Amino acid sequence: MRRGPGLLQRILGVSVGAIVTFLLLIIFDGGKRFFGGDANQAYFWAAVIGAIASFFWPIVIGWFLLRRSRARRDNQIQSEVERQMAEQQK
């Protein structure tokens, strides 16, 4: 049976989405500077982008952790090969 994301993962996702939404609302500042529209349009785009960010953050973090894990494993393999080569040369 596959379990869903844990509580910590959900809290982090909501936090990331809220922070991105808040920053976008500050940047858009009513929408007149960047979009030429009204405040509702700015809030709509900020909410949409914040929701997308909260959806995709686990994928981005997972990709980063996977790369880091592979690099660590490759380094361990390389050090083991070097150790065995040094042992054979004795």
Number of residues that make up the chain: 90
One-character DSSP codes across 9-33: HHHHHHHHHHHHHHHHHHHHTTTTT
Residue 53: the pLDDT is 77
Q: Is 53 within a domain?
A: yes
Count the domains in the chain: 1
Q: Look over the chain and give the mean of its residue pLDDT values, rounded to a whole number.
A: 77
Domain that holds residue 84: 7-88
Element holding 70 (H helix, E strand)? helix 39-88
Q: Would the pLDDT of 1 be above 90?
A: no
Q: Is 1 within a domain?
A: no
Q: Is 26 within a domain?
A: yes
Q: How confident is the model at residue 67 (pLDDT cuts 50, 70, 90)?
A: very high
Q: Give the three-class secondary structure for 38.
A: coil
Q: What is the pTM of this model?
A: 0.48
CA angle 83/66/13 to nearest 5° reads: 150
